[in-house]
Structure 1
Amino acid sequence: MSATDAVAAEEDVTDRWSAVRDLPPSAKLVAKVLDYNDTLTQSELAEETLLPPRTVRYALSRLEEEDVVDSRFSFADARKRLYTLSV
Structure 2
Amino acid sequence: MSATESEQTDDADGWEAVRELPPSAKLVAKTLEHEDRLTQSQLADETLLPTRTVRYALSRLEECGVVASRFSFTDARKRVYTLAIE
If the length of structure 2 is used for normalisation, what is the TM-score? 0.84
Cα distance in 1 between the residues matched to 2:34 and 2:81: 12
If the length of structure 1 is used for normalisation, what is the TM-score? 0.83
State the one-letter code of the partner of 2:34: Y
The aligned counterpart of 1:61 is: 59
User: Any unmatched runs of 5+ in structure 1?
Assistant: 1-10
Rg larger in 1 or in 2?
Answer: 1
Determine if the alignment matches structure 1 residue 37 to structure 2 residue 35.
yes
Alignment deviations for residues 2-44 of structure 1 (CA, whole Å, 9 cap, x no partner): xxxxxxxxx97x8251110100000000000000011000000
State the one-letter code of the partner of 1:61: S
Q: Percent same amino acid at aligned positions?
A: 71
Structure 1 stretches of at least 4 aligned residues deviating more than 2 Å after TM superposition: none
User: Any unmatched runs of 5+ in structure 2?
Assistant: 1-7
Cα distance in 2 between the residues matched to 1:39 and 1:53: 17
